[in-house]
Structure 1
Amino acid sequence: MREHVGMLLWALLVGLSFPVVGLVETLPPLLLTALRFAVACAGLWWLARRSPHFWPAWRALPLYAGMGLCLAGFFSAMFWAAHHATALSMATLYVTVPLLAYVMGLLLGVERRAWRMAAVLLLGAGGALLLALAEAVVQGGALQFGRGEAVFFLGCVASALYPVISKWGLASGRLADSAAVRTFWSLAAGGMLIGALGLAVEPVNGLAAMGIKDALLLVYLGLGSSALTFWLMQRATAALTPGAVTAYSYLVPFVSMLLLFVRTPEAIGWVWLPGSALVMLAIALLASGRAGR
């Protein structure tokens, strides 16, 4: 239950981070993400270094590199697709992440074959999709599939693979038991890859526009939205399956819906009810432990 509560907090933090990201969208996104991960690693350093297994063994390096590549792949695909795909299409594709994690987890032997888990994931995916469609009705948007959507889907595959690699590394004894250590090295690897890509395709002088407000927001995103959220995910991965961990991403559009109601109360309507009900039911079944039976 502790891990489920932690993932509820994860969903809340991720949902609240989207408005903050929008406040610094004028800065180079890849370089900004690399700096965000650097801040996260700095915040995790004091906790991770206390572990006797802080320095990774040689056989763990490929796994951390793979996890870093997953992070770099997802964020790079997301930022590129944001200019070539509609928000509705991206939101629709993102609901596939838990299902992808479940399937890949089955292939690597870290996910249990349980029809109830598959049913709960489909239930949550349906609810999240209905929330995305409701937002499109209220704010406008179009559903399409083109090059941008294809690239973002590959990013979704990378995002789903991150907890699968983590779970497999834990099950095989290759990764450290400490969630802080796993979070630190995966973010460090991902940050270096994203930073290298950002240096290649983005103007470095774009960071010169960063002011004190931007720096404070960066620290918040690094510590609250990156270090804490990925630590919560890694902690939950030790006890839950990849499908169960990623299923909490269905709550993110629910949090975004609540934020929309705060900013625009007139947006409240019955159109949000079906998706909200399905998402809450899926999370309740997941937290109860019935999905894994």
Structure 2
Amino acid sequence: MRPALGGHLAMLAFSALVAGSFALGSRAANDIDPLVMTAARFWIAAAVLAVLAYIMGAWDNRVFRAPWRFVVLSGLISGYFVSMFEGLKTAPPISTSAVFTLTPIIAAGFGWLLLRQRLTGRMAVALAIGGVGALWVIFRADLQAALAFDVGRGEFIFFWGCVAHALYTPLIAKLKRGENTVMFACMTLLGGAVLTSLYGAQAIVATPWKALPGVVWITLIYISVFASAASFVLLQFAAMRLPSAKVMAYTYLTPTWVICWQLALGAPPPPLLILIGIALTVLALVLLLRDDDAPTAAT
């Protein structure tokens, strides 16, 4: 399998798994503190990857070199996850996932700044189309709201988390030094677990764990195993094989996956006008995938 193809398949799976966290997270966001949920998911996901690394014989002591790298990476990804659950308290999951689709544009900027990855003309057009589609969904197909820049509180909060996520992606390629992918992801999650636990210690202690509703536990297990452990490995695998803008381009599929998740969970379909914006994000992804043979990075 070509390295680029493997990266694309990894991100296809990544987008589907991440979408589930929006659909489920919206149902649990108001029942548990976002910082507490993030800390718990990191501890569980780090434990899963540590066991997986041991079983695979992939334990790599090189990850203990320059531990400051994991402080930086885990700080960024912790900010992203906390902002996601905080945003989901007030923003619909489809709208929040549309904010997530702005990350390819931001990632392209960080990719150029950190790795000198250059955009081709088609990639620039694709990112612009995807950005327009995302904004159309964010403003709920309301032109007046768009002209007034009437952004919801939840979407605004999550946007800054997406900026952190966009910076996180090229930093993986920048800071990784040949370590095993599973171990590298494990250390990033462990760093996030420590940071969020220290910062949210009071909230963690005050959480009535035994009284939490079942949807919180279902969401916690899903986001820990699938939307954290598995998606971290997939993202880091892809980040070593694709330019940052293309890695994050798969976020354009997230609103589509979220609709599938929502329908599967019994929610009504979104308004037809919202689907126009989602169609534009899918078109952006198609344009980016057709650009595989063009030069995308300067090394």
* TM band (smaller chain): 0.7 to 0.9
Q: Compared with structure 1, are the counterparts of its residues 223 and 109 closer, same or farther at alpha carbon in structure 2 (3 Å cutoff)?
A: same
Q: Secondary structure at the match of 2:172?
A: helix
Structure-2 residue corresponding to 1:2? 6
Structure-1 residue corresponding to 2:225? 223
Match of 1:118 among 108, 121, 124: 124
Compute the TM-score of the two structures, normalised by the length of structure 2: 0.80
- 1:81: how far off? 4.7
CA RMSD of aligned residues (A): 3.1
User: Cα deviations across residues 237-265 of structure 1 (Å, max 9, x unaligned)?
Assistant: 01011111111112111122234445355
Distance in 1, matches of 2:78 and 2:212, equals: 23
Structure-1 residue corresponding to 2:65? 58
Structure-1 residue corresponding to 2:47? 42
Q: Percent identity among equivalent residues?
A: 29
AA partner of residue 53 (structure 2): A
- 1:211: how far off? 6.1
* Match status 1:235 vs 2:233: no
- For residues 20-35 of structure 1, what are the structure 2 equivalents within 5 Å? 20-25=24-29, 26-35=31-40
- 1:145: how far off? 4.7
Distance in 2, matches of 1:201 and 1:214, equals: 16
Q: Compared with structure 1, are the counterparts of its residues 193 and 291 closer, same or farther at alpha carbon in structure 2 (3 Å cutoff)?
A: farther
Structure-2 residue corresponding to 1:127? 133
Distance in 1, matches of 2:208 and 2:118, equals: 47
Q: Secondary structure at the match of 2:115?
A: coil
Match of 1:67 among 70, 73, 77: 73
The gaps in structure 2 that reach 5 residues or longer are none
- 1:126: how far off? 2.0
- 1:166: how far off? 0.1
Match of 2:160 among 154, 165, 189: 154
User: Cα deviations across residues 189-244 of structure 1 (Å, max 9, x unaligned)?
Assistant: 11211122221456533323236764454223211121111111111001011111
Contact 1:124-1:250 at 8 Å conserved across structures: yes
Distance in 1, matches of 2:107 and 2:28, equals: 30
The gaps in structure 1 that reach 5 residues or longer are none
AA partner of residue 9 (structure 1): A
AA partner of residue 6 (structure 2): R
Which has the higher mean CA deviation after the structures are superposed, 227-236 or 188-197? 188-197
Contact 1:285-1:291 at 8 Å conserved across structures: no
AA partner of residue 48 (structure 2): G
Structure-2 residue corresponding to 1:210? 212
Q: Secondary structure at the match of 2:242?
A: coil
Compute the TM-score of the two structures, normalised by the length of structure 1: 0.81
